[in-house]
Chain A
Amino acid sequence: MSLVIAESLDEALAEVAAGARPIAGGTDLVVASRQGTVPLPESLVAIDRLIELSGLSGGDDGVRIGAVVTHARLMTDATIVDQYTALADSAALVGSPSTRNVGTLGGNVMNASPAMDTGAPLLVLDATAELHSSSGSRQVILSDLWIGPGATSASADELCVALQLPPRKPLSGSAYVRLEYRRAMEIAVVGAAASITLDADGMVIEGRVALTAVAPTIIEVDKLDLAATTPAVAAARAATAARLSARPISDIRASDTYRSHVIGVMAARAVDAAARRAAGETIAVPVNRATGIGAAR
């Protein structure tokens, strides 16, 4: 096996073009090889030290999060916690402190697990992935990027360099809640993220909801119209719509019928927490810990 520690983005892109797989924290690639499920690729290029991939900067245009920004950094970064709170909620739930110290957002996005915690927040926050190759770069919306469990539409020579999130509107809040059987080293049974924008009277102007572990990819609840409702009505509508959008499987963590039911509960709780944050209430990150296991109120 060969390993190149890339010292520049161009070097990394050349290695990827030549067939190397990128590695950052190794929490997917190395763990899978230790488990014996997938051997380490023959050729790896380490990208975790690239300055071009480590930035996290916010401004009037929104925020650009480098692909190798870790979960530990996301859950404590002031811009993410204040404005893109659902993403902080999700990063704080990943694995354990040692996982979060090396696990990266770009790794999550490109690993494309239907159970990834950071995926649903990225969808409701309208994120795009910035993919680079030796021949150029492009922005891809995540619903086009994720095409199946562990599969993306990125071509083999493309590297995810950053995630772009547009600016938040005033009176907006977001939240991610996850059903979990234990409080660490857990994978979502199901999860839901919501982004809610309110008017000055506390009525919902717009809302988006996305779901974890109920379909082959992270999905957004479609045809969800939450405008001109109270947050309580929005939560109830989101619950119904989430159950209709879900296409879950049965596996070791839950049956399909249980997932179909409980995804509605999680969607409603995500909308509730997002609307409370939009109204100015402080709910600590992550919602799961602030309001109880599985985010019961």
Chain B
Amino acid sequence: MNHDYVLNVNGIDYPISTDSSRNLLGVIRSDVGLTGTKEGCDDSECGACMVLLDGQPINSCSYLAAQAAGRAVTTIEGMVDDDGDLALLQRTLLEEGGVQCGFCTPGMVLSARALLDRTPNPTEEEIRIGLSGNLCRCTGYAKIVAAVARAAEQTTEDAM
């Protein structure tokens, strides 16, 4: 059965008319047309599909799109700053070598963003817990954790 609703993604309202059983990931990629959000396991394990729902990370593969109506969805495309430049977390991932194939990176960035919004100066343990739903099969996490720590340091320094 079709369900009509408005999906707000990165601050823009998209009218959606689609089957109620569709997942948020599929609607973002196919109907909204933003393909930065990835499908990995399609099983809520790997975090490649992660988006922010009202600022909190969720696995969009296992979330019904219609349940996101009226809420704020943020995808990796919404992370660039106002000038269209890469976000600080994206820059520190590049600087630390925390990106190899890049498939997990959108989810990593969104998890890290939510972590730093909640905990601006996280310990390494807090970073690892914050990223614990995001699997990377290339780099081995050390450089990703370092990139999040570096972003936190730079944010703190800029604020001083």
Contact = CB atoms under 8 A, between A and B. Distances in A.
Interface residues of B, number: 33
5 contacts: A1-B19, A3-B64, A5-B66, A46-B66, A96-B132
Contacts of B62: 26-27, 30-31, 34
Interface stretch (B7-15, B53-61, B92-100, B142-150): B53-61
B63 A30 contact: yes
Contact of B57 (A31, A98, A289): A98
A95 interface: yes
Contact of B69 (A5, A27, A99): A5
A33 B21 CA distance: 10
B133 interface: yes
A35 to B, nearest CB: 6
Contact of A26 (B64, B129, B132): B64
A97 B132 contact: yes
Given A1-B20, A5-B67, A30-B63, A35 B43 contact: yes
Main secondary structure of the interface of B (DSSP, over half): mixed
A102 interface: yes
Contacts of A95: 44, 133
A72 B129 CA distance: 13
B111 interface: yes
4 smallest A-B Cβ distances: which pairs?
A96-B133, A184-B132, A3-B20, A1-B21
Given A34-B44, A183-B132, A185-B132, A98 B111 contact: yes
Interface string B34-59: 00000000111101001001001111
A40 to B, nearest CB: 5
Contact of B43 (A31, A48, A96): A31
